[in-house]
Amino acid sequence: MTTVSEASEKKPARGLAEGGAYQKLLAFASLIMLLIGFSIASPNFMQTSNMIAILQATSVNGVLAIAATLVIITGGIDLSVGTLMTFCAVIAGVVLTYLGMPLLLGVIAAIGAGALCGLISGTFVAKMKIPPFIATLGMMLILKGLSLVISGTRPIYFNDTPGFDLISRGSLIGEVFPALPIPNGVLILFIMAGVAAYILGRTVLGRYAFALGSNEEAVRLSGVNTDMWKMRIYALAGGICGIGGILIASRLNSAQPALGLGYELEAIAAVVIGGTSLSGGRGTILGTLIGALIMAVLTNGLRVLSVAQEWQTVVTGVIIILAVYADMVRRGKTG
């Protein structure tokens, strides 16, 4: 028996473990630094109501980013998350306002519609072998159009569904701790993040998501039905977009059919800032959540500082590039 150089095998392992923790720490530290920086720059930034406004601004983008993370980890991409969210909101509107069904049914219909659309995208990708970029681009346009058709191009209001606006605007936490009226929308975001993190880290579905992104052919040759698992992941992402649809509809107390285009790019930006690799196989929900928070803090903070709107966009773009570059540098050094 030979003695293969064991020392050289051990060392990169330790470096990698450190790298992983280091990165999460970095993203989190950046978030904290932004918060501190803005607090120093403006006395109005760090106040409960503004923090809640930031969290609320994160909620929808955060949920969409979670959905996008799942698909991106498999090595795919989902461009339809924004318009799918709108589509699900419209479905909720049809079920609740036009058909007058009870609240719970509307929620279920929206999530179900999301999962179904995700499954359809997944079928395009897995069975028909259409590249994910194209399949979900098509889906994005289909859903944008369908939202306008189904709604009759008018916003659908939820005035007749008591309690609908409470899904996002109400505050269960606020009822227990009156000093901390965190809206339910934010609570739902964190619950979704917890669920998604569990699925990714602790279930077969999650493990196959990473495996697909890491080496799809190897997974297929291991006898795994890759098509089916891929479709399940797209369906799960779709269902999460459905929850996003409920959140935004509840927040606006209406389903706005023209909304949604452009949201997919912000979701993907949050995913990327959070350190998920666009080539798949690597990523965390915690990272995505921090990424979404960084974007919301940045936008809000620049506004509170009254930075001209033109420049806010420039800064956001610069931050995205810096964040991804930092990730590349880090990986280049450790990997």
- Residue closer to other proteins by CB (options 278, 305) is 305
Determine if 328 is a binding residue for other proteins (CB under 8 A).
no
List 64, 79, 272, 302, residue binding other proteins (CB under 8 A): 302
CB of 121 to other proteins, least distance (A): 21
Local structure of residue 155 (DSSP, 8 states): P
Determine if 118 is a binding residue for other proteins (CB under 8 A).
no
CA atoms within 13 A on the CB side of 294: 32
Q: Using an 8 Å Cβ cutoff, are 262 and 140 in contact? A: no
CB of 271 to other proteins, least distance (A): 17
Candidate ranges 41-49, 132-140, 186-194, 284-292; the one touching other proteins (CB under 8 A): 41-49
Q: How big is the chain by its Cα radius of gyration, in Å?
A: 21
CB of 176 to other proteins, least distance (A): 20
Residues 152-211 close enough to bind other proteins by CB under 8 A: 153-155, 157, 159, 169, 198-199, 202-205, 207-208, 210-211
Candidate ranges 48-56, 62-70, 101-109, 237-245; the one touching other proteins (CB under 8 A): 48-56
Determine if 8 is a binding residue for other proteins (CB under 8 A).
yes
Determine if 331 is a binding residue for other proteins (CB under 8 A).
no
- Sign of the C-alpha dihedral computed for residues 193, 195, 116 and 214 taken in this order: positive
List 96, 242, 256, 274, residue binding other proteins (CB under 8 A): 256
CA nearest to 172, candidates 78, 163, 134, 31: 163
Q: Using an 8 Å Cβ cutoff, are 184 and 167 in contact? A: yes
CB of 133 to other proteins, least distance (A): 20
Candidate ranges 10-18, 110-118, 128-136, 187-195; the one touching other proteins (CB under 8 A): 10-18
Determine if 5 is a binding residue for other proteins (CB under 8 A).
yes
Inter-CA distances, 8 with 20, 27, 334, Å: 20, 30, 14
SS3 179: coil
Q: What is the spatial distance between Cα 66 and Cα 274, in angstroms, rounded to a whole number?
A: 11
Determine if 96 is a binding residue for other proteins (CB under 8 A).
no
> What is the phi/psi pair of residue 254, to 5°?
-160, 155
Determine if 254 is a binding residue for other proteins (CB under 8 A).
yes
Q: Using an 8 Å Cβ cutoff, are 234 and 122 in contact? A: yes
Residues 223-252 close enough to bind other proteins by CB under 8 A: 223-225, 248, 251-252
Inter-CA distances, 190 with 182, 277, 318, Å: 12, 22, 27
Determine if 147 is a binding residue for other proteins (CB under 8 A).
no
- Residue closer to other proteins by CB (options 53, 141) is 53
